[in-house]
Chains A and B, each alone.
Chain A
Amino acid sequence: MRRWHRQALWVRWAIRDARRHRFQVLSIALLLGLGVGMFTAMSSMSIWRVDSADSSFAALRMHDLRFSLVEGGTAREGELRTALTRSGATADVAAAAERLVVPTQVDASTGGRTIMVPGRIVGAPADGDVDTLAARGGSLPAAGTDVALEHNFARHYELPETGALTLAGGQRVAYTGQVLAPEYFIVTAPGAGFGAESTFAVIFAPLATAQRLAGKPGQVNDMVVRLRPGADAVAVQRQIERALRVTLPETGFTVTTRDEEPAHRMIYKDAEGDQQLLDIFAFLMLGAATFAAFNLISRTVEAQRREIGIGMALGVPPAQLARRPFLLSAQIALGGLILGIPVGLAADAWLEGVLEDFFPLPVVNAAFQPAVFLQGAALGLVLPLLAAAVPVRRAVRVAPVEAIQVGARAARSSGLAWMLKGLRLPGGTLANLPLRNVLRTPRRTIMTLLGITAVVTIVVAMAGLIDSFDATLDASRSEALTGSRDRLTVDLATATAADGRALRAVTGAQSVGDGQPSLRLESTLVAGRERLDVALETVPDRRPVWEPTYERGALPAARPGLLIARSAADALDVGLGDRVRVVHPVPTGPQTFRLETTTLPVTGIHPSPLRFLAYTNTAGAAALGVPGLVNRISVVPAAGSSAEDVKAELLPLPGIAGVQGAAATTDAVDEVLKEFDQILVVTVAIAAAMALLIAFNSTAINADERTREHATMFAHGVPVGRVMLGAIAEALLIGALGTAVGVVAGHAVLSWVLTTTVPETMPDLGIVSAVTPATYGVAVISGIVVVAAAPLLTLGRLRRTDLSGSLRVVE
């Protein structure tokens, strides 16, 4: 019983301590809660994404191998399946489907809104057991002319569940529903490895319907194969390849494994890359919270040093003396955990929403991750206790005589204040106090500093990331739109001769001003062991509409040349004058292509950050064996016409596959990144809130500790305003220092992210590093202004100081 009473005293004491510092305790607990909660939610993202993706790919029976005939090439229906049967691999194949995949233009305009984008029709057997569709509103098309619309695209434009579309050539179709398909869980446009749901529409139709819509009855150009578990994918691939080459000797084809499918690769790679990013910020958040907790607890313990000394003088064992500060930190930690759960759940719900928005999947597993929470919670629990350990150790090591000296507060060391001993700063003793106070307690100054540094680091790195994306896209846009802001690119359904009918129809159109024909070929650049997929476009000798900018070198007048992006040169490890091999299609007939390899010298570097853009000249086109061929026309609207007019006039023309603004790819990327911005912006906002909490804490502790000093000043008639000014100056000093370090650290994190994570997640984007003044502004506001303003929160308390009481106490 007596023992219990003794325990109760310690607990009561600790509770009294916590109550005395209730605002700090609460704000630290809140900080820890934010830290632990955000940490949990952010760290759970990739677990959810991988889980959801795994389940979704499995649920929709994603193919393992895809065999696609080179663009423009087709085979008779059944030919591909025959090749599969002949390959001898059937035992390993669980399901296979012949498909027809053709480019088209989709007009999904509703009401007054013009929505016209390039797209493709995917025709596949309705009863296939590979790459099935998941309806997201409406139903799957049964037969006839009905189709289904890809959900990401439909959702982007908030299209109704069912509706009508106009396809290239003016065909009207009805879509009976919106669907998710494994190949388009993340929409990628050809040539770009980005989510492109805003600029690319996929139409799903039963094979016969697709054949009719494409004007290719009885033809297919693609086969997807799902293997039995345990099958040797590489061996099966070889067998089928061999059989295809025998069956279709004239037609080139490409093989894509499941792992190489852009959507598949992006989902996992993205999850991984984003996670690295989120992990950094999760840790920074937890770190900032921890520094703040550390700060308060160690300062509280410091304040108890004299009492600890008295205890030691009275013979209380150190272990018992340590109980009180530990109980206090336990309360904080517990408060942090309790607050961490709702914060974590709220952040979970929010991130889950972002996830849903970002990657709608048929199956979503976004369960609260107790293991991750426990991990964050353990840190949140252990760190405050650890924070108590250091000063407690210091306190119990001091000889009791030292600790109980009269003028307890004076009995502590004066830190680095000696640095200023000989130094006379202008403005008298009062004006010098802030700097002295900062130097007097270097340890806690550093703790506060680190907290602010962590916050500013988050702000600069996060906002800098947004800035960098913006700068990159701006660079890309300005490159695409040099010459004319209204430039459009018109893609033809098939490559034609320079005097072809479709080409004449385009240049002759009323709304079209100038036109500049080119040939765009999906190619692969090979240098040494490096390979890079690019969209290689020929630039004609006469360039009335557009011409690439040269960062270095140029496209020569008469010799074959190759112009690539700076990031492409880096990826291939080539420079001006180096020769690269170009693997590209060459037409072998009206519907057939063959892959060939031609060597071209790199003669120029262009500044577009889009790595997959490559250009060659007329001589280059001749070297590639495709002289005079055209499948794209760059146009500018005629005077008095708009880009919309051009789209409206050209789209219904036969032989036109698509019309879009020249910066469409960039806009698509922009669109995708905007969604990621959400996470960044919220994180920055939370970081700024943390800065305020940290600063408030720090001042509240200061105000607590300096009550006597402040009272002494008031007794001398120093006005409250002056004392407040001193506190603000002190906070300003720490804030400025923390911000300076944070800006540097933020830049370091940013450049690390930009050189490691981003290139992995977005290999096609040669990201430009940029930090705008606005970002510095946010850093200064959260790190300096907010921090310097925090002391104002203690103004009321300062004014209410009980002078006689504060001066009387010999603590």
Chain B
Amino acid sequence: MPLPDARPVTPAPATDKVLIRLEQVGRRYHVGDSEVVALADVSLEVRPEELVVVLGPSGSGKTTLLNMIGALDSPTEGRVVVAGQDITHASRKELFAFRRHGVSFVFQTFNLFPALTALENAEFGADVAERPDPRTVAVEMLERVGLGDRLGHFPHELSGGEQQRVGIARALASGNPILLADEPTGELDFQTGVQILELLHAHAHTGRAVVIVTHNREIARIADRVVEISSGRVVRVGPPEEGQVEISDLRW
């Protein structure tokens, strides 16, 4: 089955199609003689229009989980199926195509290109996803993350939070059906954080699936679904414990 095309994403009923499916996924690392189990027996389904928050303490395996979905890493056990395609057994070429057109990543460590300006970094996202008119898209996304006046700045001329927002704009600009965000508000103050979350929320409601990783329980409250993991295992899946709230009601 071909990968879903990013543009335009037809809003599909939330329930009938599974976009991301993890089946008993495990990931082990061998460091010398010892073994680190980063993920164990994780099963999960995400549908379009869904905003899922992965919650867990530091070192619990959140980033590892995102890397599995984004095909940056492959599981040592189980399989990952995205849009019907088993990416655990996909060819190298298919994986590259999947990353171009299937997912957008917001990295915990930003990973901006130092030689490119904010605008160019965002443009890069649209560029590789082969969106028409990448520059316009990039400008728009940067304006959305509140950096409309910092287009020509290089990463080293931006604060940590600003760099993070450029990373988000880059991911949004690619417009792929799945958006994976690793601690997207980690560097942000409350006000800005809320704006970003709203953006991601709105993004999900254009027919895309959004997975946000955080260790912040407050943020989890905006999720359609919360996946709590601890020591690499899913310990709870379901709606936010204290009930879903509007983003404007968040406090942290």
Q: In the complex, which of the residues B73, B97, B115, B117 contacts A717, with contact meaning CB atoms closer than 8 Å?
A: B97
- CB nearest to B67 among chain A residues: A804
B239 within 8 A of A: no
Chain A residues with CB below 8 A from B174, complex form: 716
Shortest Cβ gap from A208 to chain B (Å):
88
Give the segment of A209-217, A409-417, A449-457, A563-571 that binds chain B: A409-417
B125 within 8 A of A: yes
The interface size bin for chain A is 35 or more
CB pair B99–A428 under 8 Å, yes or no, is no
In the bound assembly, the distance between CA atoms of A388 and B125 in angstroms comes to 37
B155 within 8 A of A: yes
**What does the 1/0 interface line of A514-534 toward B look like (CB < 8 Å)?**
000000000000000000000
CB pair B112–A421 under 8 Å, yes or no, is no
Chain B residues with CB below 8 A from A807, complex form: 72, 107, 109, 111
Chain A residues with CB below 8 A from B116, complex form: 429, 433, 436
CB pair A430–B154 under 8 Å, yes or no, is no
A78 within 8 A of B: no
Give the segment of A256-264, A706-714, A747-755, A762-770 that binds chain B: A706-714
Chain A residues with CB below 8 A from B134, complex form: 428-429
Known A-B contacts A407-B110, A410-B163, A717-B101; the reply to A417 vs B124 at CB < 8 A is no
**What does the 1/0 interface line of A793-811 toward B look like (CB < 8 Å)?**
0000000000110011110
**What does the 1/0 interface line of A718-733 toward B look like (CB < 8 Å)?**
1110000000000000
B43 within 8 A of A: no
Q: In the complex, which of the residues B114, B160, B187 contacts A440, with contact meaning CB atoms closer than 8 Å?
A: B114
In the bound assembly, the distance between CA atoms of A413 and B153 in angstroms comes to 11
- CB nearest to A712 among chain B residues: B111
**What does the 1/0 interface line of B122-144 toward A look like (CB < 8 Å)?**
01110111000010000000000
In the bound assembly, the distance between CA atoms of A430 and B99 in angstroms comes to 16
- CB nearest to A440 among chain B residues: B115
- CB nearest to B72 among chain A residues: A803
CB pair B127–A429 under 8 Å, yes or no, is yes
A715 within 8 A of B: yes
In the bound assembly, the distance between CA atoms of A414 and B111 in angstroms comes to 15
- CB nearest to B123 among chain A residues: A429
- CB nearest to A421 among chain B residues: B152
A58 within 8 A of B: no
Known A-B contacts A417-B115, A430-B128; the reply to A717 vs B109 at CB < 8 A is no
CB pair B114–A414 under 8 Å, yes or no, is yes
CB pair B107–A712 under 8 Å, yes or no, is yes
- CB nearest to A799 among chain B residues: B92
In the bound assembly, the distance between CA atoms of A804 and B114 in angstroms comes to 19
Known A-B contacts A421-B152, A808-B63; the reply to A414 vs B160 at CB < 8 A is no
A549 within 8 A of B: no
Q: In the complex, which of the residues B67, B98, B100, B125 contacts A803, with contact meaning CB atoms closer than 8 Å?
A: B67
CB pair B100–A411 under 8 Å, yes or no, is no
Known A-B contacts A414-B154, A429-B123; the reply to A709 vs B109 at CB < 8 A is no
B113 within 8 A of A: yes
Known contacts A429-B116, A808-B63; 13 further A-B pairs (Cβ under 8 A) = A405-B156, A407-B156, A409-B114, A410-B114, A414-B154, A417-B115, A430-B127, A436-B116, A712-B107, A716-B100, A718-B100, A719-B96, A804-B72
A-B pairs, 7 with minimum CB distance = A717-B100, A717-B99, A410-B155, A804-B73, A803-B72, A436-B115, A712-B111
Chosen A-B contacts, 18 in total, with CB atoms closer than 8 Å, are: A406-B110, A407-B110, A407-B112, A407-B163, A410-B110, A410-B114, A410-B156, A414-B154, A418-B154, A421-B117, A429-B124, A436-B116, A712-B113, A713-B128, A715-B99, A807-B109, A807-B111, A810-B109
Instruction: Give A contacts to B, CB under 8 Å.
Output: 405-407, 409-414, 417-418, 421, 428-430, 433, 436-437, 439-440, 708-709, 711-720, 803-804, 807-810
